């Protein structure tokens, strides 16, 4: 028999990614679930899967957009009205947004992100923590991020919200230290979920190396269950990253993160690579031949020097021909690429 049968975990953001993996771990351990999110159909389906796979008794779905004013209060009231006691609260729901703060990003999306990542999480914590303290029993897991501890150009507001979550959680760790209630912050590095697509950041360099959400969720779950103050999944590499964040100057961290958040370079087309290779080889041969000719010319007799001058003129002519043919190739490639782009743009225009 599972030791946790009868306990209930409330999880926000369980419809996908890290939250879904966390929900699965609770279900495997026999927890009843309260799943909160906007996609109630998805959450209903997930609940059915958990019931049939893990034999859990109760899954309650609360349909709520947590970026709305007082959404957390409404969730709390619904839980109370159903007579459910929350033993574990997981504040996972969160979104990001990519772009230059001053000119690219949209304020309405930023406001909604601050509401979800900061206000809803804080209010959920306040309401459920009060009841946990009254029982002197309970656990809370808050989704922070490795970006909580570094300034992050191009995701400035998102990183600010996660810095808040981490700082807030660590303050509460201290406030709760003499109780049986624990609070844990989970600080994942970039993880393979839908997060970057939704944030318009799918083409950034940081997405070159993504962590497995199953591993991330397990690390968070283990830390939560053992009452640790934080978890940084991903081994020594990410832990040393934390150390770096504490000792390196903020300016240096900001430029490191600016680079990680920048767009991946466009892959060079086959034609461009061939042209640049031709240029490289041609230039190398010309330099070596030039050096050899100079040495030979200096040591030659006046008659041979005359011959060399004649040969050099012919070689110059043929080099100039070669160069102009390479230039032709370059110009043709560029013209071709321009024509193709123009045709594509015309087709898109026609479709619209
Ligand atoms: N992926 C990463 O690289 C990474 C790294 C560090 C930290 N994190 C944090 O991990 C958490 C989970 O992200 P993820 O990577 O698993 O991304 P995800 O797959 O996009 O999951 C985000 C979850 O949040 C829910 N959500 C979004 N907006 C909501 C709203 N207004 N109201 C209620 N629920 C909402 C989504 O549900 P619906 O859209 O169905 O409503 C979804 O279940 C986030 O807090 C994120 O900041 C992610």
The answer to whether 39 and 65 are in contact (CB under 8 A) is no
Q: Where are the alpha helices (DSSP H) in 145-269?
A: 156-175, 195-198, 213-225, 235-247, 250-261
Out of 3.30.450.20, 2.40.128.120, 3.40.50.720, 3.40.50.1820, which CATH number does the structure's domain 8-261 have? Answer: 3.40.50.720
Closest CA to 309 of 325, 320, 293, 329: 293
C-alpha 95 – ligand 1 centre gap (Å): 5
Bridge partners (DSSP) listed for residue 91: 12, 142
Pocket test for ligand 1, best of 195, 196, 257 (most atoms within 8 A of CB): 195
Task: Give the model's pLDDT for residue 40.
Answer: 92
C-alpha 94 – ligand 1 centre gap (Å): 4
C-alpha 50 – ligand 1 centre gap (Å): 20
Structure tokens given for 142 = 């808050």
The set of protein residues with a Cβ atom below 6 angstroms from ligand 1 is 12-13, 15-19, 37-39, 65-67, 92-95, 116, 143, 145, 188, 190-191, 193-195, 198
* pTM for the structure as a whole: 0.79
Over residues 52-107, the pLDDT tens digits come to: 999 999 999 999 999 999 999 999 999 999 999 999 999 999 999 999 999 999 99
Catalytic residue IDs: 158
Over residues 281-310, the pLDDT tens digits come to: 433 433 333 444 444 445 555 545 544 454
Q: What is the DSSP letter of 211?
A: B
Of ligand 1's listed atoms, the one at least distance from the Cα of 191 is 3
Instruction: Name residue, tokens 């970006």.
Output: 147
Calpha distance 154→19 (Å, rounded): 25
**Residue 114: burial class (beta carbons within 10 Å; 0-12, 13-18, 19+):** middle
C-alpha 329 – ligand 1 centre gap (Å): 49
Give nearest CA residue, ligand 1 atom 14: 17
Pocket test for ligand 1, best of 45, 93, 199, 234 (most atoms within 8 A of CB): 93
Q: Which of 59-63, 133-137, 190-194, 319-323 has the weakest average pLDDT?
A: 319-323
- Compute CA 16 distance to the chain's CA centroid, rounded to the nearest angstrom: 15
pLDDT reading at 329 higher than 70: no
Give nearest CA residue, ligand 1 atom 20: 195
Domain-by-domain residue ranges, the chain?
8-261, 270-351
Give nearest CA residue, ligand 1 atom 36: 13
Calpha distance 196→135 (Å, rounded): 39
Q: Which of 102-116, 123-137, 214-228, 262-276 has the weakest average pLDDT?
A: 262-276
Of ligand 1's listed atoms, the one at least distance from the Cα of 158 is 47
């Amino acid at each position: 028999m599972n030791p946790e049968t009868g306990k209930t975990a409330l999880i926000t953001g369980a419809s996908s990614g890290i939250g879904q993996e966390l929900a699965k771990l609770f279900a495997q351990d026999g927890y009843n679930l309260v799943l909160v999110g906007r996609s109630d159909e998805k959450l209903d389906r997930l609940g059915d899967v958990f019931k049939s796979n893990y034999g859990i008794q109760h899954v309650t779905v609360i349909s709520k957009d947590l970026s709305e004013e007082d959404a957390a209060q409404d969730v709390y009231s619904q839980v109370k009205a159903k007579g459910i006691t929350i033993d574990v609260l997981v504040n996972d729901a969160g979104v990001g947004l990519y772009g230059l703060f001053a000119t690219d990003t949209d304020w309405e999306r930023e406001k909604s992100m601050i509401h979800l990542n900061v206000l809803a999480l804080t209010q959920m914590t306040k309401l459920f923590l009060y009841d946990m303290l009254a029982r002197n029993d309970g656990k809370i897991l808050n989704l922070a991020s490795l970006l909580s501890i570094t300034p992050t150009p191009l995701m400035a507001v998102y990183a600010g919200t996660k810095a808040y979550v981490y700082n807030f959680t660590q303050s509460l760790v201290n406030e709760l230290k003499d109780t049986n209630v624990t609070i844990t912050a989970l600080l994942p590095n970039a993880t393979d979920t839908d997060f970057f697509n939704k944030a318009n950041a799918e083409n950034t360099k940081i997405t070159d190396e993504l962590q497995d959400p199953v591993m991330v969720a397990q690390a968070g779950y283990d830390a939560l269950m053992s009452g640790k103050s934080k978890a940084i999944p991903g081994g020594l590499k990410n832990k040393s990253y934390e150390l770096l964040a504490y000792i390196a100057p903020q300016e240096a961290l900001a430029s490191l993160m600016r680079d990680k958040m920048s767009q991946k370079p466009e892959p060079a087309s086959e034609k461009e690579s061939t042209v640049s290779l031709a240029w490289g080889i041609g230039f190398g041969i010309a330099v070596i031949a030039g050096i050899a000719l100079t040495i030979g010319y200096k040591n030659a007799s006046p008659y041979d020097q005359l011959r060399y001058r004649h040969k050099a003129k012919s070689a110059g002519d043929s080099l100039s021909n070669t160069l102009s043919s390479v230039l032709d190739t370059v110009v043709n490639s560029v013209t071709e690429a321009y024509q193709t782009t123009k045709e594509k743009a015309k087709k898109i225009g026609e479709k619209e």
